[in-house]
Chains A and B, each alone.
Chain A
Amino acid sequence: MTGPVSSFDDRLESAAALALQIASGDLEARRSVSNHGDAIDALVSSLNMLAEELQHERKGRRRAEEALQDEVDAYERGPALFCSLDGDSLDVETCNGTLATAVGLPKSQIIGRSVLELYNPEFRELAERWFRGLPLSASADGSEAHLARADGGHVIVSTGASRIRSGTGRERLRVVFRDVTAERRLESQLAQAQKLEAIGRLSGGVAHDFNNILSVVTGAAALLADQLAAHSLESEDVVLIQEAVARGASLTRDLLAFSRRQASRAVSTDVRNVLLEAVRMVERLVGEHIVVTADLPSEPLHVLIDPSQLSQVLINLAINGRDAMTMGGRLHLRVDPIPASQLDASATELPAGSYARIRVTDSGVGMTDDVRAQAFEPFFTTKPAGKGSGLGLSVCYGIIRQVGGRITLQSEPGNGTTVEMFLPLMSGASHSVLPSGSPTPRGGRETLLVVEDDPAVCMVTRRILERAGYHVSSAQNGRDALAVAERIGYDIDALVSDVTMPSMGGIELGAELRRRKPTLRVLYLSGYTENLAAMAVPLESGSDFLGKPFTASTLLVRVRRLLDERAAPLSRESMARETMAREAHDGLSREGPSQEAPQPVCHERWPPSPRGG
């Protein structure tokens, strides 16, 4: 503030200068008032107070402007899609930036046009009826609709609107759209997954019952073959029966794989090795007009999976790719480690963790949206009749999901197809190999107890074993089996039991009998069982599993091997594990997969350099 000025003219000039400063916008300017108390002092004082008032007004205005700008920003860039319409013509008068961004158009191409032009054509009539039917001073929520995007896509929106009368008397509509595209996509994915799950359960149930039937047919055929002269016409007929059963078994195996109920031997598997084997097989399968390449990491990637099932997946995908490239093309297989820090859990819908990502990409004809939506459904195929069962991708889906992974498919007409799979990585480097070869079936003199709730399967199984020399007792459920065992003093060398039976299943029965006879061996039979790894039952000494349908020779080989493994009584740990398995089967608890391989560890093959890339 400038100090007091002495002469009247100077004081007046000072007051004038103050007025000029205030007028030019300098509202900080002030002059000191002298103690004359006269009109000049009054003038200067009034100018000081005027500047003070203007300063206060300016601050208030700035705060109001900032608040207004915040409101404008919230309107313009908030999550909702806003617009206002002329109440008669439904032309867009204003809209916010979010709406413009959602439909991919600048505001200049939205304002002045009818709001109906924003909709996909099939929604326009309904939208117009709804907007025009909205009464004055009423608000309402409409049904969902699709707004067309400039890039050809669409946005799914729910709509709310109110009709008001403006100050000029004109009616207007205030409209807010809510983008629900992401929600509907998630719902669709969930529905699809549930549908596949339901189909899987149905398929698994059918396959299970069918396996029992096939067991009877193949068992009886084997018994019949024993009584016929080799190379006779009748024996050739029996061979036809057995071959037909094998084809039927293959079909049920695929159905069970889709329903994730296929018995499997999941072990720690280096994906690279399986991929390499698969590439070699695929090269032979697809023909020379298709170039097969692969990209593999230098470090091992271990996942808990049956290597034969993973190979099956890769072969199935390669066959699909081959069939999509009738004029030749390129098939590329690639596997990458995806550490937990790089996983986009929300995009992949996978639990946090590290994964091996396998991609199989072809340059074929691609799929339309409709075909892609049904690609994983069992029995769905675009191939001519007789050229495919329609189970290939379904099997892949079941196998990958069974091990806790995820499989997706991206495809566009003319742009090929990429199938992407995520498999949970595990630590550990053990890699077991199932024993190969075909041992000669042998019989024996031991005492066996066969338990099977299907009378025909029970009878055939018993006859096969008795024909081989075993002393066989049988029962059709667990409770009866316990009674039989007690009657013969628990003098049983091995239990051959179906897993899934009413009231008492095979696992519970095995545990009960082992309490009385710790040296008892158990062969579990089933065509309808969960992944044994999930049951936390490593197939250690003393127990084994045989999937249905089985041939007579396979049954005899497995029983003989089981009996020949007999050694010390089962440890408390083994019995405790069986108890855990029983509880898991009953759904009471569930243990994670065992890290220990059931077989001795083999050294890993180092993969050669991949071809191409």
Chain B
Amino acid sequence: MRQMEADEVQDGPDVADVYAEPDGTIVLRFHHQTRLTLDHTRGVTRAQIELSRGEKRAVLADVRGLISSDRGSRELAAGPTIAAVTARMAILVGNPLTRLIGNFFLVVSAPAYPTRIFSDEVLARAWLQEDPS
């Protein structure tokens, strides 16, 4: 688990590192070869909510390690629970599979907050820092 500051890191589930950066961005880095289920996503969600401390934050979701995600995890991630603590989400993908997973999430699950897919982390972070207006 990458640790920035002790009080800004939450123990995520086995499938991801979840932490907050000094600028407030919440980072979700999924581990290599993760088959994401609803239970996993619940754990990640709890960690994200804890780190957000009641505020909507920019979220960088690095899904380059995912192999699959089930419907339950996609619905939870797209639903009002995450939307309550997410200002916008940049999804970082790395190969055709993860791009497909990201597109499926974007198109079919239709999250209730602004979402974009990136293959470049720098661009992703830049977008997260943009003024929404």
> Could you tell me which A residues sit within 8 Å of B by CB distance?
33, 35-39, 41-43, 45-46, 48-49, 52-53, 56
Contact = CB atoms under 8 A, between A and B. Distances in A.
A48 B33 contact: no
B96 A35 contact: no
B68 A46 contact: no
Interface in B63-114: 67-71, 74, 94-101, 104, 108
A52 B71 CA distance: 7
Nearest to A35: B33
Contacts of B96: 37-39, 41-42
B80 to A, nearest CB: 18
B110 to A, nearest CB: 12
A46 B104 contact: yes
B94 A42 contact: no
Given A49-B71, A49-B104, A49-B108, 13 more contacts: A33-B35, A33-B97, A35-B67, A37-B94, A37-B97, A39-B97, A41-B96, A42-B100, A43-B100, A45-B68, A45-B100, A48-B68, A53-B108
Which DSSP category, helix, strand, loop or mixed, fits chain B's interface? helix
B37 to A, nearest CB: 12
A49 B35 CA distance: 13
Nearest to B32: A35
Contacts of B94: 37
Interface of B: 33, 35, 67-71, 74, 94-101, 104, 108
A49 B69 CA distance: 8
A382 to B, nearest CB: 82
A48 B71 CA distance: 10
Nearest to A43: B100
B67 A33 contact: yes
Contacts of A38: 95-97
A44 to B, nearest CB: 9
Contacts of B67: 33, 35, 37, 41, 45
Contacts of B70: 52
A37 B96 CA distance: 6
Contact of A37 (B35, B95, B108): B95
B97 A45 contact: yes
22 contacts: A33-B35, A33-B68, A33-B97, A37-B67, A37-B98, A38-B96, A41-B67, A41-B95, A41-B96, A41-B97, A42-B97, A42-B99, A42-B101, A45-B100, A45-B101, A46-B100, A48-B68, A49-B74, A49-B104, A49-B108, A52-B70, A52-B71
Nearest to B69: A49
A42 B69 CA distance: 12
Interface centre among B33, B68, B97 (most CB of A within 10 A): B97
A3 to B, nearest CB: 13
Contacts of A33: 35, 67-68, 97
Contacts of B95: 37-38, 41-42
A46 B105 CA distance: 11
A46 B108 CA distance: 11
Contacts of A46: 100, 104
Lowest 8 A-B CB distances belong to which pairs?
A42-B100, A37-B95, A42-B96, A41-B97, A39-B96, A42-B97, A52-B71, A37-B97
Contacts of B101: 42, 45
Interface centre among B95, B98, B100, B108 (most CB of A within 10 A): B100
A39 B96 CA distance: 5
A152 B41 CA distance: 70
Contacts of B71: 49, 52-53, 56
Nearest to B75: A56
A43 B100 CA distance: 8
A587 B71 CA distance: 79
Contacts of B98: 37
A516 to B, nearest CB: 94
A56 B72 CA distance: 11
Contacts of A48: 68
Contacts of B68: 33, 45, 48
A143 to B, nearest CB: 53
Nearest to A48: B68
B117 to A, nearest CB: 13
A199 to B, nearest CB: 75
Contacts of A43: 100
B95 to A, nearest CB: 4
Nearest to B64: A37
Contacts of B97: 33, 36-39, 41-42, 45
B49 to A, nearest CB: 26
Nearest to A56: B71
A38 B96 CA distance: 5
B24 to A, nearest CB: 31
Nearest to B101: A45
Contacts of B74: 49
Nearest to B100: A42
A53 B95 CA distance: 23
A391 B90 CA distance: 100
A15 to B, nearest CB: 12
Interface centre among A33, A53, A56 (most CB of B within 10 A): A33
A43 B68 CA distance: 11
A53 B97 CA distance: 18
A450 B69 CA distance: 110
A48 B133 CA distance: 38
A37 to B, nearest CB: 4
A42 B104 CA distance: 10
Nearest to A36: B97
B99 to A, nearest CB: 7
Contacts of A42: 95-97, 99-101
Contacts of A35: 33, 67
A295 to B, nearest CB: 76
A76 to B, nearest CB: 36
A48 B100 CA distance: 12
Nearest to B104: A49
